[in-house]
Copies of this chain bind each other. A is one copy, B any other.
């Protein structure tokens, strides 16, 4: 299975508070205790530029900073999602992916190669404007939007 985000460089810091710092702060404000598993997951997510699946996270942590149980990973991701610190991304591979919500300047969408499974981020200001406009005239209170373009990547097209 493709592990697209796993080798990309860390995102540059925007402003004064990194996503990881903000996440730790928001978590602290909504909890009495803070634990090592949560910190490890947050730090791993912050070091990635695109979405990771829960099992990729488990794997990366097992061979890296600190082993974290699968149940804990899912619990932590659910909580981060509820606090709107991460977004759950479904790109059509029977596996949810999660990535930090960094606000405007980290916001992006996804290209998926249906043949090799690669996932790549992309951005488009014009598309953002159009989708924001659409969101206003639609019968739900839109909290997040998600755009996925499916097709064949350069390697698979040949």
Contacts and interface: CB of A to CB of B under 8 A. Distances in A.
Interface in A135-158: 135, 138-154, 156-157
A2 interface: yes
A2 B1 CA distance: 14
A153 B141 CA distance: 6
B90 A92 contact: yes
Contact of A142 (B134, B140, B149): B149
Contacts of A4: 114, 151-152
A139 B127 contact: no
Contacts of A146: 92, 147-150
Among A2, A5, A147, find the residue whose CB has the most chain B CB atoms closer than 10 A.
A147
A113 interface: yes
